[in-house]
Amino acid sequence: MKNPILPFDVGDHLNDLNLRSCHPFARAVWMDLLCIMACGHPYGHLALRPPQKQNTQVSAPQGVAHAGVLESPYDLPPTGSLEVVLSARLGYTPEDFSWSISHLEERHIFSRTTDGIIYSRRMIRDAKAAAKKKAAPKRAATKKKGSV
């Protein structure tokens, strides 16, 4: 999987009073989540895809249950809660990760879908604007008076 680009407005990040009121540890978790949501399916959501099924049989090493092949570090393994999986991959304890999510949610840093999936309002808004811009007809360049 190609690494996605995450447009990031440093000024918006530093000037967001709700975010600035968060504990520094929770802000670090938020930055990690933004990076993961850039790989999200759909974009901007903390929803990871299940491992892709393969057409060929793959034998797991003896004593190890076959858990599927992950295409990217952000694919969701077939077992385990998203919170446990993400905390482990990001290097946080499940308790610290859970506390950070609650802390961020109390300060309205993110929203949730009706299914409870965390998403970044800003990432969704930016993605919609980019799609609208991409779909807009291209204008022909016009020569300015006096230019060569």
pLDDT digits (tens, 9 = 90+) for 38-56: 888 888 998 765 545 444 4
Q: Where are the chain's structural domains?
A: 10-51+70-134
Q: Where are the beta strands (DSSP E) in 68-123?
A: 111-112, 118-119
Q: How many helices (H) and strands (E) does the chain have?
A: 6, 2
pTM above 0.85, yes or no: no
Tell me what pLDDT residue 23 has.
96
**Lowest mean pLDDT across 25-39, 49-63, 98-112, 127-141:** 49-63
d(CA 60, CA 84): 23
Q: What share of the chain has pLDDT > 90, as a percent?
A: 36
The class that CATH gives domain 10-51+70-134 is: mainly alpha
